[in-house]
Amino acid sequence: MKTVNIGILGCGTVGSGVLKTLAANGGWIEKRENLKIHVKRILVNDLAKERPEGYPKSIFTDDPEEVLGDSGIDIIVEMLSGENPAADYILRAIASGKPVVTSNKSVVAARWNDIMTASRGGRHVFFDASVCGGIPIISILSNSMQANRINRVLGIINGTTNYILTRMSKDGAQFGDALAQAKRLGFAEADATADVEGFDAASKLSIIASLVAGRHVPVGSIYREGISKIDEVDISIGKELGFTLKMLAIAAIRDDAVEARVHPAFIPSKHPLASVSDSFNAVFIDGNAVGELMLYGRGAGDLPTASSVISDIITAAKTIGADTPGVINTTEETVAAGDWESEYYIRMTVPDRPGVLSKIAGVFSEHRISISSLIQKGFDTPHVPLVFVTHPCSKNAMLDALAKIADSPEVVSVDNLIHVVR
Amino acid sequence: MKTVNIGILGCGTVGSGVLKTLAANGGWIEKRENLKIHVKRILVNDLAKERPEGYPKSIFTDDPEEVLGDSGIDIIVEMLSGENPAADYILRAIASGKPVVTSNKSVVAARWNDIMTASRGGRHVFFDASVCGGIPIISILSNSMQANRINRVLGIINGTTNYILTRMSKDGAQFGDALAQAKRLGFAEADATADVEGFDAASKLSIIASLVAGRHVPVGSIYREGISKIDEVDISIGKELGFTLKMLAIAAIRDDAVEARVHPAFIPSKHPLASVSDSFNAVFIDGNAVGELMLYGRGAGDLPTASSVISDIITAAKTIGADTPGVINTTEETVAAGDWESEYYIRMTVPDRPGVLSKIAGVFSEHRISISSLIQKGFDTPHVPLVFVTHPCSKNAMLDALAKIADSPEVVSVDNLIHVVR
């Protein structure tokens, strides 16, 4: 049996999950893969802290040198969080010719070009665990979709926002209450900004979009809206229209540009993504050969993420000494789409009197926006909510039209604008 | 750029799909993978038949020797149907040291041990397209789930039966009408026995279960029931109980045996598989690290299947000359489970008079079967339908109990027995 010695950087949630899974399933892996994964050294912050059972105290260290500089280690497994010092550790391991496995989305997204260039197009660098925990989306995009032009990827790739929107949709909760509940149950951190405002999803989408587009799509080029603006009334009106609200990450490829965006969106309630509830993640791929393909599973958590890390370790072990090709293009520039076509849901408050609708419809028409449905809620009150759903139109035209409508004396307020994605 | 020469055996639906996809996406594949896939020879039955555009007449042949014996061909791509002569061609290609890609479930299921032994544990043999068309289930089980003990795989792996059950469930159609509709629309063949009675699903399950169990699970060891016994009334009573009826393929691993079975089953309507409709396929994996993972997509069709074939060709091309390990165990014997625990739905017709229920309940109790719900439909008619749902019990105990109940003078008929899977 072949033995591979691994050096681990970081023993937080994911690192502990890897140690526990290797302890529980290591024998099975040896039998199935004819490979023994031996944990030689583990870098930790705090040597005094309790660690998973089955690993001698002596292999834990707080000195990165004892892991990175150990010539007996075959593979470096980086499970820290944040860009630094992880980037230096990864680049140093690549330079020393060792395969690298990482679960760290921040460093992969932020340092994509450095890592891919150093590894000559992704040779011996494995990052399936950096996106969507246990869902092998990176592996599928890299190794199972090569025959396809990918038209579009739609993802529910943040468990916290999916949990909050599920509560709002199923229980009629308002955003603030659903967020508070998510925090109580451990589905959201005390400061939930990174999740709620889409920063976490944008990091993951940067990695997915870079693979799909075949060129780096930096986080900074991704359009981003959070879910804090969503009112329960929007979700409830959306239901009447046959829609379910989800926080989507979208990568769509055009000939000349990449559309990469993270925002709440209404999707048809019959869409396979609509039934992805609670903290589950899912990624929906539209390829020109495969058609529609969806992966659904646990996008976070110690053991699901460990599943992806260990799978990458096994794949990495098989590539040691092999001349695997690097397939990631690092030379082309990304052109981020500044505009796109979308259907929209618009909710506004207007006085209940003749002429208002014709005025608003006139502004939409001037901007070449046509309306597919209209709902007016409530009658015999001075102000009523008015909801439009449009046919596909330019996002920028929509923003221009809404600015004009908001300024108009016929309109009390423009309350929400939400993408509709089919 | 590297060029790989492929020899194709069979140019039916899948073969034509591969030629079309290579013609459409070949340039993109060259750019992304730095690999040119060159189709050198194509074995067909009928040289006169029209073939996809972009391939010279001269590369088509009706002589297998011109493909198998061509030393300039690097990879053999077998897309015939049925076990013979495909098995001979595959074994001959393996013996000559060439990687083999196959989309043929019959030959992989029937000749698993021969193929895996000849290829020293699956080295250079690729069969992702043989199961579930465009869904990369083989690749995921082989290359992304290695860290897991797989507890169970549940699959909707036959599009025809899923289409028929969807029509029965959504439109209230009876089996015969839904089958006729499926034939009219091309979702079922004129002789639909292989689909409707579960033979097609059993072939696919044999391959999935063999990978999951790490030893060959022959088609003959798979328990099989078809859907022709399903009445629309069962589906409709199931809905009241919170169930959706699906044709499931199940591979469950026990310490000492493999449970492999294909049968209609009620699943909770909230289960992710319950929303898999029409001719779509899905595979739900329960692994001890990854938790719940589901793949959803097109399980058949020319282009989805071509997506998997071409992906396998690219993977095969990368392994040429490499010492890839074979990980498939061919030495252990399979012990097929002859009994298992399941919940059951039982529908029977009984006279509407006192004492009947206590008699039936008594028989269940003697067989250690306990009841979780009971519905009686209709009153004031001499005979009424009675539906039981049980707690988990032994399948064999259930069959014994039902034989006794069917013989009892208190019961008019036992009308249906359906597994309930959660």
Say how far apart CA A32 and CA A48 lie, in whole Å.
Answer: 35
Crossing angle of helices A159-171/A175-184, nearest 10°? 120
Residues in chain B: 422
Closest CA in chain B for residue A20: B289
- At residue A319, the pLDDT reads 87
Report CB contact under 8 Å: A134, B307.
Answer: no
pLDDT tens-digit map of B288-341? 999 999 999 999 999 999 999 999 999 999 888 887 777 787 778 888 899 999
- Chosen from B18, B32, B144, B332 to mutate, greatest number of chain A CBs within 10 A: B144
pLDDT at A332: 80
Which amino acid, residue A142? S
| Mean pLDDT value across residues A133-152 | 96
CB contact under 8 A, A289 and B297: no
The residue whose two tokens read 């990175």 is A68
Residue A204 a catalytic site member:
yes
Q: Which residues contact B303 (CB under 8 A, 6 or more apart)?
A: A288, A289, A290, A291, B17, B20, B21, B134
Burial class (CB in 10 A: 0-12, 13-18, 19+), B257: middle
Q: List CB contacts (< 8 A) between A149 and chain B.
A: 25, 28
User: Looking at residues A345-355, what average pLDDT do you find?
Assistant: 92
Cβ of A303 within 8 Å of Cβ of B291? The answer is yes
- CA distance, residue B18 to nearest chain A CA (Å): 9
Q: Which residue in chain A has the smallest CA separation from B269?
A: A275
Strands B243-253 and B258-268: antiparallel
φ, ψ at A362 (rounded to 5°): -60, -45
Q: Is residue B114 pLDDT above 80, yes or no?
A: yes
Region of residue B122 (left: phi > 0; alpha: psi -120 to 50; beta: else): left
Question: Inter-chain contact A290–B301, Cβ cutoff 8 Å?
Answer: no
Quote the ipTM score.
0.95
Contacts of residue B143, defined as CB under 8 A and 6 or more positions apart, other chains included, come to A139, A143, A311, A315
pLDDT at B328: 82
* Candidates A149, A301, A311; nearest CB to B144: A311
What average pLDDT does the segment A394-400 reach? 98
Mention every residue, 6+ apart, whose C-beta is less than 8 A from residue B7. B40, B41, B42, B43, B67, B68, B70, B73, B75, B76, B77
Cβ–Cβ of A295/B294 closer than 8 Å? Answer: yes
Judged by CB atoms closer than 8 Å, whether chains meet at A298 and B290 is answered as: yes
Give the residue with greater pLDDT, A206 vs A319.
Answer: A206
Chain A positions touching B314 (Cβ under 8 A) are 146-147
Q: Which residue has the higher pLDDT, B214 or A89?
A: A89
Mean pLDDT (whole number) for A140-168: 97
pTM here is 0.96
pLDDT in tens, B35-81: 999 999 999 999 999 999 999 999 999 999 999 999 999 999 999 99
* Chain A residues with beta carbon closer than 8 angstroms to that of B123: none
User: According to the model, what pLDDT value does residue A321 have?
Assistant: 82
When scoring B36, B148, B149 by the number of chain A Cβ atoms within 10 A, the one with the most, hence best to mutate, is: B148
Check pLDDT > 90 for residue A353. Answer: no
pLDDT, tens digit (0-9, with 9 covering 90-100), for A179-194: 999 999 999 999 999 9
- CB of A331 within 8 A of CB of B171? no
Mean pLDDT, to the nearest integer, of A74-90? 98
State mean pLDDT over B90-118: 97
Residue A208 amino acid letter: I
Q: What is the mean pLDDT of residues B87-106?
A: 98
pLDDT, tens digit, 9 for 90 and up, residues A307-329: 999 999 999 998 888 877 777 87
Q: Determine whether A392 is exposed, middle or buried from the number of CB atoms within 10 Å of its CB (0-12, 13-18, 19+).
A: middle
Q: What is the pLDDT of residue B323?
A: 75
Give the pLDDT of residue B115.
97
Query: Tokens for A13?
Result: 């949630």
B144, B288, B297 ranked by CB distance to A139: nearest = B144
Which of A289, A293, A311 minimises the CB distance to B135?
Answer: A293
Average pLDDT over residues B146-155: 96
The residue annotated as part of the active site, out of B204, B239, B246, B270, is: B204
Q: What angle do CA A113, A116, A117 make, to 5 degrees?
A: 80
Q: Do B304 and A290 touch (CB under 8 A)?
A: yes
> A168-204 burial, b for 16+ CB within 10 Å, e for fewer?
bbeeebebeebbebbbeeebbeeebebbbbbbbbbbb
Catalytic residue, chosen from A98, A204, A246, A395, is: A204
The reply to whether residue A144 touches residue B308, judged by beta carbons under 8 angstroms, is yes
Strand partners for B336? B258
User: CA A197 to CA A226: how far, in whole Å?
Assistant: 4
DSSP string, A367-422: TT--EEEEEE---SSSEEEEEEEEPSEEHHHHHHHHHHHHHSTT-SEEEEEEEE--
Residue A25 has pLDDT above 90, yes or no: yes
CA distance A386 to A375: 6
**Mutation site, A6, A16, A32, interface B, largest B CB count within 10 A:** A32
Q: How many whole angstroms separate alpha carbon A323 and alpha carbon A192?
A: 43
What percentage of chain B reaches a pLDDT higher than 90? 89
In DSSP notation, A187-219 reads SS-SS-HHHHTTHHHHHHHHHHHHHHHTS---G
State mean pLDDT over A356-363: 94
The position carrying tokens 């690749």 is B139
For residue A310, which residues of chain B lie inside 8 Å, CB to CB? Answer: 146-147, 289
Q: Which two tokens stand for residue A249?
A: 């990450």
- A161: pLDDT strictly greater than 90: yes
Which residue among B135, B147, B306 sits closest to A147, beta carbon to beta carbon? B306
Quick count: other Cβ atoms within 10 Å of Cβ A331? 9
CB of B14 closer than 8 Å to CB of B79: yes
What pLDDT was estimated at residue A54? 96
* Residue-level pLDDT at B178: 98
pLDDT at A382 over 90: no
Give the closest-approach CA distance of B296 to chain A in angstroms.
5
CB contact under 8 A, B288 and A322: no
Q: How would you classify the pairing of strands A125-126 and A100-102?
A: parallel
**Which residues lie below 8 Å from residue B81, measured CB to CB, with a gap of 6+?**
B10, B12, B104, B106
Q: Which residues pair with A155 in a beta bridge?
A: A249, A283
**pLDDT above 70 as % of chain B:** 100
Task: Work out the average pLDDT over A163-171.
Answer: 97
Contacts of A297 in chain B (CB under 8 A): 290-294
Q: Which residues of B touch A135 (CB under 8 A)?
A: 293
Q: Are residues A324 and B308, on separate chains, in Cβ contact within 8 Å? A: no
pLDDT at residue number B378: 73
In this complex, do A34 and B214 lie within 8 Å of one another by their Cβ atoms? Answer: no
Contact B304, A140 (CB under 8 A): no
* Residue B239 reports pLDDT greater than 80: yes
Average pLDDT score, chain B = 95
Rounded to a whole number of angstroms, the distance between the first and last alpha carbons of chain B is: 50
Which pLDDT score, from 0 to 100, does residue B254 have?
Answer: 84
Beta strands in B10-158 (DSSP E): 35-43, 60-61, 75-78, 100-102, 125-126, 150-156
Question: Residue A374: what pLDDT?
Answer: 95
Closest-CA distance, A386 to chain B, in angstroms, reads 33
Q: List chain B residues with CB under 8 Å of A288.
A: 24-25, 303
Whether B293 and A145 lie within 8 Å, measured CB to CB: no
Determine the pLDDT at residue B332: 80
Write out the two tokens for A276: 């992805």
CB-based contact A250:A421 (threshold 8 Å)? yes
pLDDT for A245-280, tens place per residue?
999 999 998 877 999 999 999 999 999 999 999 999
State the nearest Cα–Cα gap between B231 and chain A, in angstroms: 26
Q: How far, in Å, are A136, B64, B240, B341 from residue B364 at the CA level?
A: 45, 60, 23, 15
**Mean pLDDT on A197-222:** 96
Supply A112's token pair: 């994509």
What's the pLDDT tens digit per position in A128-137? 999 999 999 9
For a pLDDT cut of 90, what percent of chain A falls above it?
A: 89
Give the span between the Cα atoms of A417 and B98, in whole angstroms: 57
Mutation target to probe the A interface, by most A beta carbons within 10 A, among B156, B307, B323, B327 is: B307
